[in-house]
Structure 1
Amino acid sequence: MRSDGSALSLRRWVRSAGFAWAGVSQAYRTQANFRIEVWAGVLAVALALLLRAPLAPILLACALVLGLELVNTALEAVVDLVSPELHPLAKVAKDAAAGAVLVASVGALLVGLAVLGPPLLRALG
């Protein structure tokens, strides 16, 4: 569908946001890893609030993991569309995208330990 030409159109933004939300909803319904990552993020944010720990690093780490999981899901769908049969390059693309999610997840875990670990130890000690 053609744009109305205005980048500042509220109608255009709402329509685009609807498409984006449909992608997030589809990923939540169909991707087990995305659901796990969403709930891990909710837990991390709740713990940060409870411990009065800095929220920004936790939110950024969660957003990075979830965003990359969405990109991974999109890439897998496109690869499956253009290469329904097994192909070595399709495997490389899918594995690299999954690797990006893994790297972000390990980074998020380290951020969580660095930000939430000290106040959690103080609360427990």
Structure 2
Amino acid sequence: MKSWWQPFQHAMNGLRQSIREERHMKVHLAIGGIVLLIAFLLPLTASERAILCLTIGIVISAEMFNTAFERTVDLVTQEWHPLAKAAKDIASGAVLVLALTSIVIALCIFIPYLVQ
């Protein structure tokens, strides 16, 4: 049973560490929580709520991948290198694209309900 449970524990440790140590993760979680609160206060369809949950999950996962990627780059080289900077900036840019896309998705879902 321990071998089945251990990978789950490692994953939870990674999630906790990401929340504890990464400022942007806290921001994504706070905004995601607000979006979910609004989603359950408005009369959204189950599909609309599912799309919002999926979008939030993708952004949070992307932030965690970005953090893992940045730490791996830091492990490989302690000195400043233009390729290391570019790799980190590109990974961070990917999270930004997803976050902005999620805002557009949320607005597309919420605006019709808020205008009524």
Structure 1 residue 117, shift from structure 2 partner: 1.4
Pairing 1:15–2:16 present:
no
In structure 2, distance between residues paired with 1:99 and 1:12: 37
**Matching residue within 91, 97, 102 for 1:97:** 91
**Matching residue within 4, 23, 26 for 1:32:** 23
Superposition pairs for residues 1-125 of structure 1, below 5 Å? 11-53=2-44, 54-122=48-116
Please report the TM-score for the alignment, with normalisation by the length of structure 1. 0.86
In structure 1, distance between residues paired with 2:4 and 2:58: 22
Higher fraction of helix: 2
Letter in structure 2 aligned against 1:103: V
Structure 1 residue 120, shift from structure 2 partner: 1.9
Letter in structure 2 aligned against 1:113: L
In structure 1, distance between residues paired with 2:21 and 2:66: 13
Please report the TM-score for the alignment, with normalisation by the length of structure 2. 0.92
In structure 2, distance between residues paired with 1:55 and 1:107: 16
In structure 2, distance between residues paired with 1:17 and 1:42: 23
Q: Secondary structure at the match of 1:55?
A: helix
Detail structure 1 runs of 4+ shifted over 4 Å in the superposition: none
The percentage of aligned residue pairs carrying the same residue is 35
Letter in structure 1 aligned against 2:43: R
In structure 1, distance between residues paired with 2:49 and 2:86: 35
- Matched pairs, number: 113
Larger radius of gyration: 1
In structure 1, distance between residues paired with 2:59 and 2:43: 22
Structure 1 residue 11, shift from structure 2 partner: 3.8
CA RMSD of aligned residues (A): 1.1
